A and B are shown apart, each in its own frame.
Chain A
Amino acid sequence: MPKITIDNREIECRKGISVLQAALEAGWNIPHYCAHPGLRVVASCRLCLMEMRMPDPKTQEPTWSPKLVPACQTPVRDGQVVRFDSDRVRQNVKRCMEFFLLDHPLDCPVCDQAGECHLQDYSYRFGEAESRMVDEKLEKPKKDIGPRTLLYSDRCVLCTRCIRFTQEISGTHELCLVNRGTRNEIDVFPGKPLDNPLQGNVVDICPVGSLIDKDFLFKRRVWELESASSICPGCARGCFIRVDHCDGTVYRLKPRYNPKVNDWWICDEGRFGWKYVHDDKRITAPVLHRGHEKTTPKWEELPEILRYRFEEQMRKNGPDKVVAMLSPFMACEEAWLLIKFIREVAPQAALAMGPVSEDGENQHFPVGASGDAVRFTILKEKCPNRRGIELLIGAAGGKTLSFEEFVEKSAAGDFSAGWVVGGYPAEWVDKAAGKIAPKFELLVVQDIFPNALTDAATIILPSCAWVEREGSFVNSTGLIQPFERAISPPEGVKRDGQYLYEIAGLDGLYRAGRVRELMNATIEEFAAVFEAPPMPAHAH
């Protein structure tokens, strides 16, 4: 690991990174706009200029070079000595901040970015309270550049991160620079809006309030939002995300850095895939059918009722007539608890895998890339935890079934008691599956939305969306990645993990980490989950 000296402090840094990145990772808050670790270096904002010690051309004595150099463009070299803490560096930043604000409309009170804006932050730290600009500002237009995104050109600092994103990551090349000099504007080509599966990232990487997500526009001030670390359930890739929420409502999803999966990016499908969470058609209370009578049992009574009902079925129809269908939308911990319960009451119970939703083909980006050139992938497998459920079913042993086998055998009347978990964001019960309900004497269905199975179930258990739960998903490459809960479930709904914990006969509060410790006793994979290396927020 190279050692470099910044402002008289020696640090060790990763090989192959820029001095800027090394400084940021070591905790310096160096102002920068154009630099982004995921994008090509353009060194155009000139904010991260630093002084560097170089051998004097005549005497070869190391001296501070008269030239300022961009830290983003300078790779780390062992023994390098640089400084940001100097009058010349400070003066440059100060003047740059004045330049950036010359034509800026200063509309922070109505700007979505306010509160997470690097123009605000840097102005506060390095700028002046008053501008010397007394002339009329150059006005630039607000542009509707795509179905989901607005461009406020007047707030733009022309860092070109967005352009480089469409060139280097999405490979769709929608954005470009038009005009010249101070009239420079980001724009799209006529008739070619910014509309690609990754376009939302340009809003994330915009350091100022220029690129704005229409979905979030004017919804909330960002300082009111709380964040939870989560995993996107949109596909089997398992991108790291952040759920921004407030007052029990999700407002937006943002990518979280994960060098093994998604780097700094997420796709729009995942980004906007949370809307079902707040759908008013959700099941919001447990339901118990007794003949034609429908009652709402108390949550406290449920563990006893369920255990009794399954034991009753065992006595009545024998030990091999019980089945549980697990869903690839369940967290590993929840699935483990359900398996624990089922195998306790019915050791010979069959375990089935729910349907694995697929859509189209895997999509690789930049468009047309393959092999090492691929920077981002959206998988066709549209559920987050098939691997995890398969792992748990495998570890549990005994009789296992595919979804098709489960439907077939259920329709043939092989089972009298079943527990079916849904939790899919969209309709998942197909025609064949919808017809199996009458074959069961006891059918417990745990789901988010009503469907043909919940309609015919003996007991309906409301399920929670992933933002209301905690646990872990195993992604397509086998990484076990934990996610936190962000918000409370709708009124009247208990978290799946909590009631499964109770049903499985455990006391106290469900905590995913606690359950993983129990799981680890028999399934060693769960000894540790994957957490991305910590990275200061301003380092990317």
Chain B
Amino acid sequence: MAAYEPVLLRNKGVENSTALKVYESRGGYQALRKALKMNPEEVVEEVKRANLRGRGGAGFPAGVKWGFLPKDRTVTYLCVNSDESEPPTFSNRVLIEIDPHMLVEGTIITAYATRAQVAYIYMRVEFHEQFHILQKAIDEAYAAGYLGSKVLGSDFALECYIHRGAGAYVCGEETGLIESIEGKRGCPRIKPPFPAVEGLFYKPTVVNNVETLCNVPHIIERGADWFTGIGPQHSTGPKLFCISGPVNKPGCYEGAMDITVRDLIEREDMGGGMLPGKKVKGVLPGGVSVGILTADELDMKMDFQDPAKYGLLGLGTAAAVVIDQDTDMRSVLRNMARFYGTESCGQCTQCREGTAWMHTIARRIEADGGRIEDLDIIAETARSMGMMPGLSICGLSDGATYPLETIVKKFHSELEESIRAQSPTETDALAGAVGH
């Protein structure tokens, strides 16, 4: 296999890579100059041709999304999703830390393509250092004329603001994010209308993930054909993968979407293998919300299609966390359940009550109070919250469904064993408890 040439992380290790001068010296902002010579529709067309699928989790083609904007719009907003709150995911953070100007350039080109006049970068509040890095980059871009009322002397004007969140997972959902920017509770909106028609401040709005936008300058600079030449046909372009857990080199790595989970763990230029004495028991390969893989399923490809074959929701954020043989699956179950229980915004009944109930049960199972039927209740609850489409307003509930359902399904025998190994008194006491 030919060595992969990094695109998104090409400035990794370069001294002072966050500075405008350094970015420019390595070819930065040339794509913007090129884009400004094209008309916006041509830019959209190029991105469409590249089949750039959203990197935030759902994998929706960015160019198609931009195409949904009504033709007769006068005001358009661009929201950049930098809420990055999916557990084990830190690729946006790495991008901003290494190459903030790549994001700024991608934002400017996207705004030009979508005719947006204002871009809001919605950043999770926990990104303190990253906020300062990106703000400095934005300030530099203003000073250099890349942002402001005349971008590079053209008629195109763009204002760019960072909006800092307040620490809610659900604000990474595009309409939750929009509500949050508007100063409201981060509760996802009902659709339709979709943001492209009625989004931020009830105007046409495009919401894209940081990594998605970072791909845009490269597509413009090198062309859609170059982009589609990377990775499999349905999952084109460079992709960042995160790996964490008991591996030798946890971190964020770049590659084409033709690698497997095993590659991500084992390859020397990626995870570098398991820590001494550690063995893989399971992997949550796409952030936690897509579900879990067993040690036998590590040949899953990290692309947009393969995860479904393993009963997973999708590629998600392509951030894998490895669970080793010493970890009690009951703790993993409880940990997952707790996350969604506290992060559900609470609008939809199934998600609000289901996540909390699963957490209550998982907590009891972990504390040696489990019953075999609890596993069935968790699986059934998970199924009645997500899986069947349309049950709730946003995808958080599906995201809560998959890890819990797949853990219970794929690790049923282990969980069952742990429950049977409990001291009998507590189990008996609960077995007798019936009623509301």
Measured in the bound complex, the distance between the Cα atoms of B189 and A44 in whole Å is 10
Distance to closest chain A CB from B355 (angstroms): 7
Query: Closest A-chain residue to B429, C-beta based?
Result: A134
Q: Mark A130-143, 1 if CB is under 8 A from B, else 0.
A: 11111100100000
A91 touches B346 (CB 8 A): no
B349 touches A42 (CB 8 A): no
A373 at the interface (CB under 8 A from B): no
B390 touches A49 (CB 8 A): yes
Q: Mark B326-357, 1 if CB is under 8 A from A, else 0.
A: 00000000000000011111111110111111
> Within 8 Å CB of B348, what residues of A?
44-46
A308 at the interface (CB under 8 A from B): no
Query: Closest B-chain residue to A45, C-beta based?
Result: B349
Chain B CB count within 10 A is highest, among A46, A68, A130, A177, for A46
Measured in the bound complex, the distance between the Cα atoms of B434 and A46 in whole Å is 27
Contact check: which of A73, A95, A133, A135 meets B384 at CB < 8 Å?
A: A95
B364 touches A135 (CB 8 A): yes
Contact check: which of B341, B364, B388 meets A181 at CB < 8 Å?
A: B341
Measured in the bound complex, the distance between the Cα atoms of B159 and A195 in whole Å is 43
A306 at the interface (CB under 8 A from B): no
Distance to closest chain B CB from A216 (angstroms): 26
Which residues 164-222 in B have Cβ within 8 Å of A in the complex? 168, 185, 190
Which residues 368-391 in B have Cβ within 8 Å of A in the complex? 373, 377, 381, 384, 388-391
> Within 8 Å CB of B364, what residues of A?
135
> Within 8 Å CB of B341, what residues of A?
181-182
Contact check: which of B347, B384, B389, B434 meets A134 at CB < 8 Å?
A: B434
B435 at the interface (CB under 8 A from A): yes
B149 at the interface (CB under 8 A from A): no
Distance to closest chain B CB from A195 (angstroms): 23
Contact check: which of B345, B353, B355, B360 meets A135 at CB < 8 Å?
A: B360
B430 at the interface (CB under 8 A from A): yes
A371 at the interface (CB under 8 A from B): no
> Within 8 Å CB of B389, what residues of A?
66-68
Query: Closest B-chain residue to A134, C-beta based?
Result: B433
> Within 8 Å CB of B373, what residues of A?
132
Which residues 104-150 in A have Cβ within 8 Å of B in the complex? 104, 106, 130-135, 138
B435 touches A130 (CB 8 A): yes
Distance to closest chain A CB from B285 (angstroms): 25
> Within 8 Å CB of A69, what residues of B?
390
A180 touches B361 (CB 8 A): no
A101 touches B436 (CB 8 A): yes
Query: Closest B-chain residue to A160, C-beta based?
Result: B347
Which residues 36-75 in A have Cβ within 8 Å of B in the complex? 41-47, 49, 66-70, 73
Distance to closest chain A CB from B356 (angstroms): 4
Query: Closest A-chain residue to B389, C-beta based?
Result: A67
Contact check: which of B360, B384, B436 meets A131 at CB < 8 Å?
A: B436
A399 at the interface (CB under 8 A from B): no
B392 at the interface (CB under 8 A from A): yes
A180 touches B436 (CB 8 A): no
Measured in the bound complex, the distance between the Cα atoms of B353 and A47 in whole Å is 14
Contact check: which of B344, B349, B391 meets A180 at CB < 8 Å?
A: B344
A367 at the interface (CB under 8 A from B): no
Given the known interface contacts A43-B393, A95-B350, the answer about A132 and B377 at a Cβ–Cβ threshold of 8 Å is yes
Measured in the bound complex, the distance between the Cα atoms of B193 and A41 in whole Å is 12
Distance to closest chain B CB from A297 (angstroms): 63
B352 touches A158 (CB 8 A): yes
> Within 8 Å CB of A88, what residues of B?
388
Q: Mark A79-110, 1 if CB is under 8 A from B, else 0.
A: 00000000010011001100111111010000
B353 touches A182 (CB 8 A): yes
> Within 8 Å CB of B345, what residues of A?
180-181
Distance to closest chain A CB from B71 (angstroms): 24
How many cross-chain pairs have Cβ atoms below 8 Å apart between A and B?
A: 105
A402 at the interface (CB under 8 A from B): no
> Within 8 Å CB of B435, what residues of A?
130-131
A184 at the interface (CB under 8 A from B): yes
Measured in the bound complex, the distance between the Cα atoms of B348 and A157 in whole Å is 10
Contact check: which of A42, A95, A158 meets B190 at CB < 8 Å?
A: A42
> Within 8 Å CB of B353, what residues of A?
99-100, 102-103, 182
Given the known interface contacts A130-B436, A181-B341, the answer about A42 and B356 at a Cβ–Cβ threshold of 8 Å is no
Measured in the bound complex, the distance between the Cα atoms of B389 and A67 in whole Å is 5
Measured in the bound complex, the distance between the Cα atoms of B393 and A66 in whole Å is 16
Which residues 4-47 in A have Cβ within 8 Å of B in the complex? 41-47
A180 touches B190 (CB 8 A): no
Distance to closest chain A CB from B342 (angstroms): 6
Measured in the bound complex, the distance between the Cα atoms of B341 and A91 in whole Å is 22
> Within 8 Å CB of B342, what residues of A?
180-181
A184 touches B377 (CB 8 A): no
> Within 8 Å CB of B355, what residues of A?
181-182
> Within 8 Å CB of A67, what residues of B?
389-390
Measured in the bound complex, the distance between the Cα atoms of B343 and A130 in whole Å is 29
Measured in the bound complex, the distance between the Cα atoms of B377 and A158 in whole Å is 23
Distance to closest chain A CB from B106 (angstroms): 31
B436 touches A92 (CB 8 A): no
A133 touches B357 (CB 8 A): yes
Query: Closest B-chain residue to A101, C-beta based?
Result: B436
Contact check: which of B356, B393, B430 meets A138 at CB < 8 Å?
A: B356
A99 touches B354 (CB 8 A): yes
> Within 8 Å CB of B356, what residues of A?
102, 138, 181-182
Distance to closest chain A CB from B289 (angstroms): 16
> Within 8 Å CB of A46, what residues of B?
348-350, 391-392
> Within 8 Å CB of A157, what residues of B?
349
Measured in the bound complex, the distance between the Cα atoms of B434 and A132 in whole Å is 7
A182 touches B436 (CB 8 A): no
Contact check: which of A68, A101, A106, A135 meets B388 at CB < 8 Å?
A: A68
Measured in the bound complex, the distance between the Cα atoms of B347 and A70 in whole Å is 14
> Within 8 Å CB of A73, what residues of B?
190
Which residues 470-498 in A have Cβ within 8 Å of B in the complex? none
A180 touches B343 (CB 8 A): yes
Measured in the bound complex, the distance between the Cα atoms of B341 and A510 in whole Å is 64
> Within 8 Å CB of A101, what residues of B?
436
Measured in the bound complex, the distance between the Cα atoms of B342 and A102 in whole Å is 17
A43 touches B349 (CB 8 A): no
List residues of A whose CB falls within 8 A of some B CB: 41-47, 49, 66-70, 73, 88, 91-92, 95-96, 99-104, 106, 130-135, 138, 157-158, 177, 179-184
29 intermolecular pairs with C-beta atoms under 8 Å apart? A42-B190, A43-B190, A44-B347, A44-B393, A49-B391, A66-B389, A67-B389, A70-B190, A95-B381, A96-B350, A100-B353, A106-B436, A132-B373, A133-B357, A134-B430, A134-B434, A135-B364, A158-B347, A179-B346, A180-B168, A180-B344, A180-B346, A181-B344, A182-B341, A182-B353, A182-B355, A182-B356, A183-B346, A184-B352
Q: Which 8 residue pairs are nearest across A and B when measured between Cβ atoms?
A: A182-B356, A99-B353, A184-B346, A67-B390, A68-B390, A95-B384, A181-B344, A131-B436
Given contacts A45-B349, A180-B346, 17 further A-B contacts (CB under 8 A): A41-B190, A42-B347, A46-B349, A46-B391, A49-B390, A91-B384, A95-B381, A95-B384, A96-B350, A135-B361, A157-B349, A158-B346, A158-B347, A181-B345, A181-B352, A181-B356, A182-B356
List residues of B whose CB falls within 8 A of some A CB: 168, 185, 190, 341-350, 352-357, 360-361, 364, 373, 377, 381, 384, 388-393, 430, 433-436
